[in-house]
Structure 1
Amino acid sequence: MSSPLSADHPAAQPPGHGSVEALISQARRLRGDVDAVRRDSQGDGTDPRGRWQRALYDLALHQLSDIDEHLAQLRDGPAPAPRPGSLLSRVGSAEWNLLTDEAEWSGELFHILGRDPAAAPLSLDELPSVVLAEDRPKLTAMVTDCLVDARPIDGEFRVVRPDDTVRTVHMMGEPVLDADGSTASMWAVLRDVSELRRSQRVVSETRDSLSRHPLPADTGQRAAVEPREAVLPPWHGLLRFPHEGRPGLDLAAGYLPSTAPTAPTASAAQAPPCTAWYDACPLAGDETLLSVGDLTGPGPDGAQGPAMSIGALRGLATAGTRPAQLPDRLDRLLEATALPPVRGALYCSYRPHTRTLTWAHAGHLVPLLFRRGTGRALAGQAEAALEDGDLLLLHTGELAPADVRRLLSLGPRLTGVGSAQDGVRIVTEEFGGHLGQEDACVLVARVTPGATRRAR
């Protein structure tokens, strides 16, 4: 590959082996020191300041690990086939020849973009086709500045891989000039910085959380005044939620307590009133019923009302009741009990082999679908085809239109998460740990690769 400076000016020679070894030793020693300080001072990380400190330590360790492996690559030269998922596999290089329209990519770049190494590298004209639509103008401007004005490239954009996952790529490059000073080609190094940016977002979010909700003087009351993360609902011990996920789905859920003041309970052991629920119920043939909802009141047994409703819902679903029939049949079943009626609910069936989602609702709740950096409400439909990497968000509570727009605006972050649990964390931290004046639940289902789609 040509020098990144000029075709007739050779690049400077790399530093000697010994000097690079010394840098590697320093980086590893510093990483060990940071890790030791983190273990000694992190605490349990349950309060906002502790979570912020933990996020900063993790970010520092992530960057130091990057430096260590990049220096090792400088010492050893490019590896022929980096292990997938390693730091070295997240740094690739490319050169685009403007005279022949040929492109030369390193093997790492094919991995970053999720492309078959046996395929031809994308030309500069084809490169925007894998970039997220809203980021294409940024890439075009960087390339134009490089080719026309000979400016260095240094910027980021998001790419959509063939499996629909979204990755953030940092690109640095320069024009390669021929003998008469004209641009002959463009040289670039591209780095997958998705995990790094995620770590930085965690630092920013926890810092903002800390600034909005400083620790109270009486830290013994922290749990009552600082619900920063989704917590387990009071009825959690009565029913199991499949934390290991379901076929074709990565699942996570959280309970967001009300911000409204509650009257003291009769005893410390008595559970607080609770009206909202979430559930993932296994059905025949790897099908899963996802549901969220809330009752008009806590019922005579306080926190047990949602658990009893889930039990009734599971019984109906396993007996063959389809989502479209569930609202009416559950209402009729609850009428024969002392439980209050359903205020609002969503009942969603997911079949992994066809990636088909069908749903029904009581009240005004609708599923929210996040795909390729954007979010939309699945309103006016009863069935949809999902894709690998899609993220489905179900929530309870009567949200104001502005809050729904806030949820949908999280699209770029939610479609880039590594797990459903990360999706729950982003939502709960965005809303300060609560979705309104009443307790609420959030359920996130992320479609995972592996299931083979069959014709219906």
Structure 2
Amino acid sequence: MPSHLFADRPAQPPEPGSVDALISQTRRLRGEVDAVRRDTVVDDDDAQGRWQRALCDLAVHHLDDLREHLDQLKEGLPPVPEPLGEPQPAPEAGPETQTRVGSAEWNLLTDEVSWSDELFQIFGRPPESGALPLDELGSTLFSEDQPLLTAWLTACLVDGKPIDGEFRIVRADGRVRTLHMRGEPVLDSDGCTASMWAVLRDVSELRRSQRAVRESRDSLQRQREIAQTERRLAVELQEAVLPPWRGSLRFPYGSAGTLDVAAHYLPSATSALIGGDWYDALELPDGGSMLTVGDLTGHGVTATSGMAMMLGALRGMAMAGIEPGPLMGWLNQLLETSVQPALGSAVCCRYDPARRVLSWAQAGHPAPLLFRRGSGRSLMPPEGVLLGATSGASYGQAEERLEVGDLLVLHTDGLTPRSIEFSRADGTERLLALAPRFSAARSAQECLRIVIEEFGESEREDDACMLVARVGG
């Protein structure tokens, strides 16, 4: 509603066709945004979804406001308000039909007050009760907002400054609304303030949407910070638990030969969190050595702390001389009684260099691959279910006699992911197809590089560990 200060300037209405086109575009865009909003699936744990939904709500409110203003622009100037003594009744607006914009004028010379029908609806005030004079307007405001309105009115009426600000009111029905007020003093011919004109707009839903956007954005930022912190802690814990040696490890057995070992952890390409994969090679007190790889379900600190518990227990039992089969049974019991239950898969091997015999057990894990004289095969696995899956499970133990030059490859599931391109079995075939290249390699570390080149550093949907051991003479 234009101020009376500019009533002597002829208005230049826009062309009706251009306004109609804008209204049509706004209506179409509003429908498209509303469709996106409906398609946004949100749950309590999805901060990203809540943020997107809140942004859609905010966009819808802005488009509704824009269409309302364009409709008013198309209709032209509103009619002159009825005389104060003959107010026209207006229907009370409900939650779904809440009017957004109303106007008012307070005459300081006659104490007359003119309110539009829409303003009565905004304040939830029946027209027969009459419009509120300026000195009573503050009674509807929140107590903390009343001094602010007083300061604005004083600046407007005394100093001639325009009003542009927001305050909150409590309607007679108890509903709280946020109003944006734009007002100007109307001067008489002597330059004195004769009245004050104002437009008040109900921006409650708009502010609520903006608040939802801010809260969702802040929640999303907090979740990102928590995820970053968790990942850092998981990485630090993983680095502290996995073997301190990097690259290759060599076990000298004197006249019984050597065992050349190389291992590597391959992070996931798609997951920002560290999983519960492990690898280890350990020299035992009786002169043998232990080789193991395994994986716990889950990601983050929970998975890495569980992995630390399992790997510590495995090392301790191996050093105590417990064979791989019974060792798996104890690991199963440990995981079953853990505070944070999980499932795990593992393979544990004990190598006796004097007899060149590999004793091994597995728990729902891919069997070791044995490469000999240019060809490879998967070892026949003994009985063994996933760790933590069954109470009191027993685990079988198998033996395999090795020869000088043999190569063992142990890996976790993430090395050969399930995908459209290939299955687990196809991944095993890809590994076995590397046999000729392994036979030409000079060390376990070189064999490890061959596997990494074949499967890539960043092709996995999950993280993975692999260990390569080569029997020397």
TM-score when normalising by structure 2 = 0.44
* TM-score normalized with structure 1 length: 0.45
Higher normalized helix content (fraction of residues): 2
- Bigger relative contact order (CA 8 A; separation at least 6): 1
